[in-house]
């Protein structure tokens, strides 16, 4: 399976990229998705490092938000016009190697036009895009996953399931014990009949045996009929003759050993299919210390409301009297901030908790989700 490379601008779509990363890892596995270029040693040419990282991938996702195209550096220069811009290097490296590049539009962004892009990124304008919206996030991600399958391969849990041998069906593993028992009984009856005929034809001289041969069926049919007196010598001679003629049943009175069949009725083969999904906590909580843009928040359960939490900015301390309230349902998190003592609703955040419970990503709505203020990407990281 080839990896998925997620390219994004931190100030443009960090929250969306982090949320997408979690969803793709849950489907394809942790080793199949990575974002950012990490581990570039001091003194190494970062252009070559980026090129090597991108070259090892099967597809690149270019996460494009509203400021992706026009983001500027400290001097006011458009970052895409800088040949050393990391986003430009990542995307152009994939394009020149003919690696599939899928534009992923977030925050209601639109595709850039060819004339708005530098020369080495012009081809990006002609790539089909996928849009991820907050309201339809889960279904939009499923559409993206289907588009990634031809470039990446099957999900990790599917690969494990296919590689495990299938358990043999008990009906076809070996003949059932009762069938073997019936076969042995039938052969024993035939052997006894042949022995009796041989006795009267060659050794008995028309004399009647001391006792009649007894033939049984069922479980006791596998044992030869008892012999007494003069029958014994003739019976032994008949069996020796039959053995010399190639009849294996005449060589011994003992039944062939019937070994238990593995997987027969009553024995269930143990399943060995393993899951590659990341471990998921049995229950989620927001209690702890969280960091957002170098600001620390202490989160404690609200004793008055189940599933609610109180947040307090602890480093640096807030200058104004504010009330932070967080509510958690499954993995969905809603955070509201009010100005006190007026109680004015100032900020609303709609976030989702990661599978391991250590990250929250989503959108922040200044002004309490007012349509006059566009949403912003936001990300929290659990510190402890």
Q: Which two tokens stand for residue 172?
A: 């076809």
Q: Which two tokens stand for residue 197?
A: 């005929």
156 shares a domain with 93 = yes
193 shares a domain with 149 = no
**Does residue 256 lie in a domain region?**
no
Check which CATH number belongs to the domain holding 117 and give it: 3.40.50.10140
Check which CATH number belongs to the domain holding 328 and give it: 2.40.128
Distance CA 218, CA 186 (A): 10
150 shares a domain with 15 = yes
pTM for the model stands at: 0.46
326 shares a domain with 182 = no
**Does residue 243 lie in a domain region?**
yes
129 shares a domain with 29 = yes
- Tens digit of pLDDT at every position of the chain (384 positions): 678 999 999 899 989 999 999 999 999 998 888 876 555 678 888 888 888 888 989 999 999 999 999 999 999 999 999 999 999 999 999 999 999 999 999 999 999 999 999 999 999 999 999 999 988 999 999 999 999 988 886 655 554 445 444 444 444 444 455 566 677 777 877 778 777 777 666 555 444 444 444 444 444 444 444 544 455 555 555 555 554 555 544 444 444 554 554 444 444 444 444 444 445 555 788 889 989 888 888 898 988 888 888 888 888 877 667 788 888 888 888 888 877 666 666 788 888 888 888 899 888 877 644 455 677 888 899 988
141 shares a domain with 12 = yes
**Does residue 276 lie in a domain region?**
no
Cβ atoms of 225 and 214 within 8 Å: the answer is yes
Q: Which two tokens stand for residue 272?
A: 């060995």
Distance CA 20, CA 234 (A): 88
311 shares a domain with 217 = no
| Residue-level pLDDT at 119 | 95
Q: Which two tokens stand for residue 87?
A: 């986003």
How do strand 57-64 and strand 3-7 relate by DSSP bridges? parallel
232 shares a domain with 144 = no
Domain hosting residue 202, numbered range = 175-250
Distance CA 69, CA 11 (A): 12
**Does residue 124 lie in a domain region?**
yes
Cβ atoms within 10 A of the Cβ of 220, count?
A: 10
Q: Which two tokens stand for residue 89?
A: 């290097």
376 shares a domain with 308 = yes
**Does residue 283 lie in a domain region?**
no
Cβ atoms of 170 and 49 within 8 Å: the answer is no
| Tally of domains within the chain | 3
Q: Which of 163, 191, 225 is the last residue of a domain?
A: 163
Selection from 185, 209, 182 nearest residue 196 by Cα: 209
**Does residue 260 lie in a domain region?**
no
Compute the half-sphere exposure of residue 329: CA atoms within 13 Å on the CB side of its CA: 4
**Does residue 109 lie in a domain region?**
yes
Q: Which of 135, 163, 191 is the last residue of a domain?
A: 163
Question: CA–CA distance from 336 to each of 292, 314, 315, 323, 362 (Å)?
Answer: 15, 17, 19, 8, 14
Q: Which of 194, 223, 250 is the last residue of a domain?
A: 250
117 shares a domain with 238 = no
Using DSSP, state whether 250 is helix, strand or coil.
helix
191 shares a domain with 137 = no
Distance CA 10, CA 3 (A): 21
**Does residue 157 lie in a domain region?**
yes
23 shares a domain with 112 = yes
């Amino acid at each position: 399976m080839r990896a998925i490379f997620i390219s994004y601008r931190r100030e443009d779509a960090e929250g969306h990229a982090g949320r997408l990363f979690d969803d793709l890892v849950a489907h394809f596995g942790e080793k199949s998705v990575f974002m950012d270029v990490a581990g570039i040693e001091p003194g190494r040419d970062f252009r070559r490092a980026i090129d090597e990282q991108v070259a090892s991938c099967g597809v690149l996702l270019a996460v494009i938000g509203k400021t992706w195209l026009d983001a500027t550096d400290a001097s006011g220069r458009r970052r895409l016009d800088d040949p050393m811009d990391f986003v430009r290097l990542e995307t152009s490296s994939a394009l020149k190697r003919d690696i599939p590049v899928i534009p992923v539009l977030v925050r209601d962004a639109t595709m850039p036009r060819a004339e708005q892009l530098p020369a080495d990124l012009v081809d990006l304008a002609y790539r089909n895009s996928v849009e991820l919206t907050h309201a339809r996030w889960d279904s939009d991600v499923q559409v993206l996953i289907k588009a990634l399958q031809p470039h990446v391969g099957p999900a990790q849990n599917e690969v494990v399931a296919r590689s495990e041998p299938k358990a043999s069906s008990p009906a076809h593993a070996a003949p059932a014990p009762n069938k073997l028992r019936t076969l042995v009984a039938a052969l024993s009856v035939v052997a006894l009949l042949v022995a009796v005929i041989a006795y009267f034809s060659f050794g008995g001289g028309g004399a009647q045996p001391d006792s009649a041969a007894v033939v049984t069926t069922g479980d006791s049919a596998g044992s030869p009929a008892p012999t007494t007196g003069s029958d014994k010598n003739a019976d032994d001679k008949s069996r020796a003759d039959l053995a010399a003629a190639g009849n294996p049943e005449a060589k011994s009175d003992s039944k062939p050993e019937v070994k238990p069949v593995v997987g027969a009725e009553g024995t269930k083969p143990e399943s060995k299919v393993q899951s590659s999904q990341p471990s998921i906590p049995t229950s989620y909580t927001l209690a702890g210390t969280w960091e957002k843009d170098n600001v620390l928040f202490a989160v404690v359960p609200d004793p008055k409301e189940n599933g609610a939490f109180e947040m307090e900015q602890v480093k640096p301390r807030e200058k104004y009297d504010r009330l932070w309230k967080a509510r958690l349902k499954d993995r969905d998190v809603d955070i509201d901030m009010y100005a006190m003592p007026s109680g004015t609703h100032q900020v609303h955040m709609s976030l989702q908790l990661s599978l391991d419970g250590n990250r929250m990503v989503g959108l922040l709505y200044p002004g309490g989700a007012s349509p006059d203020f566009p949403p912003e990407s936001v990300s929290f990281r659990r510190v402890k």
